[in-house]
A and B are shown apart, each in its own frame.
Chain A
Amino acid sequence: MQHQVFISHATAEADRADEICGRLEADGIRCWIAKRDCPPGADWVEGIPGAIRRADLVLFLLSPEAQLSPWVDREVRWALRTERPTLPVLLGDTSLSERLEFLIGTYQTSRIQQPPSAEQLSELVDDVRTLLEDRRRAESLVSHVDEEGAPRVEDPFELRVTSARPAYFILLVDQSASMNRRIHGKGELRLRESVAGVVNDLLHQLLRASRRPEGYRNYFDVSVFGYGSGSDAQNVTSLLPDGVDRVSSGELLEKTIRVDEIEEVQQLEDGTTTTVLVKRPIWVDPTPGHGRTVMAAAFRRASDLADAWIAEHRDSLPPVILNISDGRWIDENPMHAVRSLQERVTSLGPALVFNCQLVPDVSGPADELVFPSSPPQGVDSRTTQLYFFSSVLPQSMRAEARARGIDVNEDSRGLLYNAPAGRLVDFIQVGTRTNI
């Protein structure tokens, strides 16, 4: 009979593993445990990877000994590599080592005492059941799509947006004090002004893409939230006029705070140029900030926004969250908030999270990471974490990046790091690429 749960443990916890295995199997959940299921003489190196790969859930029993065990370490890495759902179970007072915090710290954990009470074992069985049920639901969703003969969607962003299947962009804009810095070589222009300009350009672009002769179509929804503008560390506020949470492209023109007129040089058909006055709608002004970079709170707000939108648009393109900052988080690590956000799904796929870290000075391309495809080396751990919680670029966005002269491959992630402000346009254009 095919097992559902692989139990990973150190030799020191063999009895505890047996006890948990017995409790789960008494409840009808078939387990794989090395001592029993990998008989003496069998090749463990062959047996264990396959057993993990076939498992619906991998349970890690984590004690101080387990965290030092090279076998447990291998099993953790293999479970991550084969993308198995995992449940770390902390035994006694064990806390995650820095290494495991980095590898699996974003997953929901359970804790049981040594020895566990009957009540704790029951709770553990409930946790396992819930995770197995989540997986079953996800699989039934996929097979349901297959049964209907609909083409499998490898990249939902290849699909054309329609009013019934709009796209949703959530822009999270750092407004902390450091965004007041001037951009090298750009005179008085500050980072916050540059970001506001790019956000206004994006909204204008969405407005134009939605325009048809008879009016505007609701092809896009967009939210723009600022964080770190005030002294309240959790302060995350809408930057759109009237403080609305989101606006559809059909309403964008009504929501401008003003329409500026700017001079623009245009090329005529005969090759000559002329300067004309053109209207430029403005939705967002650059607000001077004096707070700190509270990214986790911003991502939590984005999860709430994504939930509300998905409830109304279950079959739409997944939301895309673009986080623009000039620094890294202060205080709370945003990893849990980001992972939670990436679990928001429409029927076409999970939400995508892209991160952009700007610098005011152009310090040279050597330091710049543009849609990297492997974890950056020789940088501090927060940069590496930024890499891991940036989503992989779908095919259509990779094509957009290539069209902009950026070298990407199928592992490239939506991360811009140490990037000069001019790169922000590439980041926005790649991250909001849709098929009209």
Chain B
Amino acid sequence: MKPDPPVLRRWTVSRDQDHAEWNEDASRAEAAGGSFGWRAFIVVADGVATMPFGGAWARALVEAADPTWTSPAGLESGVQSARERFDPLEAFRATSDFVLERLWSERGAAATLLVADVTSAGRHAVCHLAIVGDCLFLMSDGDQLVSFPRSKASELTNRTNAVRTKMTQLSVESHTYSVRSGTILAMASDAMGAWLLRQGEGDGPGRVHTWLSTATESDLPNLDDDLTLVLLEVPRSSWIRALVGRLRNFARQDS
């Protein structure tokens, strides 16, 4: 039986709700199934607002990212290529002036970044993850809430660590997780991640799991920031789905 790819839910909200186009978060989420199983690739980037091209740089990173970026070396090399291609003054030539040019030459642009490559592996899935700055990865199975790279909402305040267009050493935090079927993975920009952690700290992991299972875009909180959230529920393996299907058939015949 060919496995179904996992269902992905991806939402984003601009902090300036009258201007969705001003959202400086960017994201990408894709999943495919095949004879090998399934694979999902997720990227979330959050442009630093005090740098005028933060949103454009976040979009450029999301577009350029590939699964090799989940290793520090792959990320370093991929970001370097993205830097070389990124020419915002050319892209925004029509609206440029001396203020924008000087800001670009002085500051460049910066964005936080999360890259996740999730592949099925029998009854489990494997998630390779790389994060720079305040993005958050979270796993919830109803009993436990595991988060990376921060475990407390109050820790999501590292405003300086980001992927910059100016040459700087990347500070990458990477990890590989084995994920049980039925687990929900959440990948979020900083404000959304901090909000989820705060819910867990206040109401416990069960409450967060319920929220992640049932949330729709309209449930996103209003947090005075651009928000991005990508959710992936690791599908149950095919034999469990088959068993559940048979049980349902029995139940139907019985009634």
Contact = CB atoms under 8 A, between A and B. Distances in A.
B52 A160 contact: no
A171 B100 CA distance: 26
Contacts of B15: 160, 162
B95 A269 contact: no
A98 interface: no
B52 A159 contact: no
A253 B16 contact: no
Interface stretch (A205-213, A240-248, A388-396): A205-213
A213 B52 contact: yes
Interface in B95-109: 95, 97-100, 102-103
Contacts of A215: 95
A163 B16 contact: yes
A160 B22 CA distance: 14
Majority secondary structure of chain B interface residues (helix, strand, loop or mixed): loop
Contacts of A436: 49-50
A278 B91 CA distance: 23
B225 A213 contact: no
A163 B15 CA distance: 10
Nearest to A150: B222
B185 interface: no
B95 to A, nearest CB: 5
A164 B100 contact: no
B71 to A, nearest CB: 27
A70 to B, nearest CB: 49
A206 to B, nearest CB: 11
Contact of B99 (A159, A162, A164, A208): A208
B224 A279 contact: no
Nearest to B19: A163
B52 A212 contact: yes
A217 B97 CA distance: 15
A212, A269, A278: most-surrounded residue (chain B CB, <10 A)? A212
Interface string B221-245: 0001100000000000000000000
Interface of A: 159-160, 162-164, 207-209, 211-215, 217, 253, 259, 269, 278-279, 436
Given A164-B18, A253-B99, A278-B102, 7 more contacts: A159-B224, A163-B18, A209-B50, A211-B52, A212-B22, A212-B52, A215-B95
